[in-house]
Structure 1
């Protein structure tokens, strides 16, 4: 199907590199096109679940995200159904800088990032937060149900503030030394500070980098809204642990939870 997508978009796969998404849901490859190098991403889903918010996210981001948010340009897209599966093919400009992690969101060693990279990330997050949208990344109803269940403590689940978020800001969706923010499927409204909190939680196995995030993004995290966003992210990641994902983060998440809720 990736080959069929390439043919439909007049693209020719180059090299042997294949980038598989979470649980094999997506397959991406570099391609050559008449307008230069590109990146062809194919999404697969059961036919009755093809479409909706996740499929429209990249196209909406292309339409409304300002230039201050560095991301690959979406050139073309195609959707179709074949038997029991639906497909979305997206042709992007190729990003030359590599992602900071390759196969997973969790950081396991400190990246070499300069102040300019952090400044650009900070500007991007501040800009994303101001983009008007009817899209939703996190729902208050989820917080009401999940936070008491997975945090295991009595807690006020009302978010202090809501802003627009990328919604999946982890190390496999960020490039360096030039910053590009990848994967715009799930962006939308979330508790203020959500993106910074998610990146911080995925960095807990590398304390120096986690501390650097708190230093560089302190204007986001060191606020009541930022601390609440950390609790939201910890809730979500503890839930994923019950499903067998992110198991290595469990102890660090519990330690961070105790730090946020002490006193």
Structure 2
């Protein structure tokens, strides 16, 4: 769980617009508020007269920056993948612009299963049944085969960023597949699993989701080993490329203050893959 925005005016604006979003989508908020990364999103359990138990999530951004991959990801994933993989269904959306900010609210079906971790970085080993891994593999295979024009990773970014953050030559991506785009323990429930938060959905290097799950699990070696067993693609050249791309993303993120404790194992894995 993250914290509200550091600016109190932003915090009050988010709460005010969240209540307006609930009214537009005809839901009653009946749970604690949950803040997202850097206070960029606000969510809560809600009740709808037709859909019943739901999850209301509102994304906010300055008006001139609203749009693009993250802004549209959940909606586009819903069109292509609702009822095909284990993910929350999207019941409706609401968009409003006010005082220079855009607010996108999404009403999802509520998932009662607990997530595997409260944060993206997994710090302790999880002992999950083989059926959990099989379900995850099957869902990711369906995602991989789903055609989309959305792009989650661009070669141009790889060319610039891998030398800068890993001090390694940029790999060439030759195999692409559709990916969830942000696969880590906080976006996976511990029973089915259900895959949450599809903002980053789009084309990426083959093996990208497995590489992301591995990189965020490096502080839990037992689980990381299970990821490698479950996804043999990681041992291929395509998997090596995907891992270098993900490692670059996470080192870049850590350089901005996100999960700096991951930097040593990320760099150690990059050295192994070089």
- What is the TM-score with the length of structure 1 in the denominator? 0.94
> Counterparts of 1:166-185 in structure 2 under 5 Å?
166-185=180-199
CA distance in 2, matches of 1:238, 1:53: 21
Per-residue CA shift, 1:95-141, capped at 9, x if unaligned? Answer: 11011112x21001122311101001111111111110110000000
Q: Look up the match of 1:111.
A: 126
Tell me which of 1, 4, 28 is aligned to 2:43: 28
CA distance in 1, matches of 2:260, 2:67: 31
Judge conservation of contact 2:147–2:178 (CA < 8 Å) in 1: yes
Judge conservation of contact 1:54–1:185 (CA < 8 Å) in 2: yes
Distance 1:127 1:66, change over 3 A: farther
Deviation at 1:147, TM superposition (A): 0.9
SS at match of 1:89: strand
SS at match of 2:173: coil
Tell me which of 51, 57, 75 is aligned to 1:41: 57
Tell me which of 203, 208, 212 is aligned to 1:198: 212
Deviation at 1:186, TM superposition (A): 1.6
Q: Look up the match of 1:228.
A: 241
Runs of 4+, deviation exceeding 4 Å: none
CA distance in 1, matches of 2:235, 2:96: 46
Per-residue CA shift, 1:121-168, capped at 9, x if unaligned? Answer: 111111111110110000000011111111113x25211311111111
Q: Look up the match of 1:65.
A: 81
Judge conservation of contact 1:165–1:187 (CA < 8 Å) in 2: yes
SS at match of 2:120: coil
Deviation at 1:19, TM superposition (A): 1.7
Tell me which of 227, 237, 240 is aligned to 2:253: 240
CA distance in 2, matches of 1:58, 1:66: 10
Are 1:164 and 2:178 matched, yes or no?
Answer: yes
CA distance in 1, matches of 2:257, 2:177: 30
Q: Look up the match of 2:3.
A: none
Deviation at 1:209, TM superposition (A): 0.4
Distance 1:8 1:68, change over 3 A: closer
Q: Look up the match of 1:212.
A: 226
Gaps of 5+ in 2: 1-16
Q: Look up the match of 2:156.
A: 141
CA distance in 2, matches of 1:200, 1:186: 17
CA RMSD of aligned residues (A): 1.2
Judge conservation of contact 1:160–1:224 (CA < 8 Å) in 2: no
Judge conservation of contact 1:68–1:123 (CA < 8 Å) in 2: no
CA distance in 1, matches of 2:262, 2:171: 23
Gaps of 5+ in 1: none
SS at match of 2:147: coil
- What is the TM-score with the length of structure 2 in the denominator? 0.91
Are 1:101 and 2:117 matched, yes or no?
Answer: yes
